[in-house]
Amino acid sequence: MTPCIIEFSGEAIGYIQYYIIDKDEIVEYGYEDNEVIYGMDLFIGENDLQNKGIGEKVINSLVSYLKIKKCADRIVIDPRVVNKRAIRCYEKCGFIAKKVLERHELHEGVHWDNLLMEIDCKKAEK
């Protein structure tokens, strides 16, 4: 996993990380195990800087990096189904909803459903 701090005007305002998806998750997600698939997670922690397009810029930059420098076949992200703002942002960045991962995330004693979203880098090149 590669962790990164998101800065805006010289201030740390969020966090983004990327990582290669392991073979077990690749199969769970329904992909071929011969693909190079990266996952990513992020948040903008400063409420007054949300809904300003910063997340889109950061995501688009990381997606380009993973496609070009890491030769990703796919990039996935799995926001909670209830996180509509994040889902809209990811859609703007080219992610497509693939399926709901039921009870996928355990957080503070609650199992949350997540939405598996992807960018197919091979299709995006055509």
Place of tokens 């997606």: 63
CATH of the domain at 9: 3.40.630.30
pLDDT top residue among 77 and 110: 77
- Residue 126, pLDDT > 80, answer no
Radius of gyration, alpha carbons of the chain: 14
Number of folded domains that form the chain: 1
Percentage of residues in the chain with pLDDT exceeding 90? 65
Q: What is the DSSP letter of 79?
A: -
pLDDT of residue 125: 56
Give the separation between CA 107 and CA 121, rounded to whole angstroms.
31
Give residue 32's domain range: 2-125
**Each residue's pLDDT tens digit, 21-39:** 998 888 888 888 889 999 9
Mean pLDDT estimate for the chain: 91
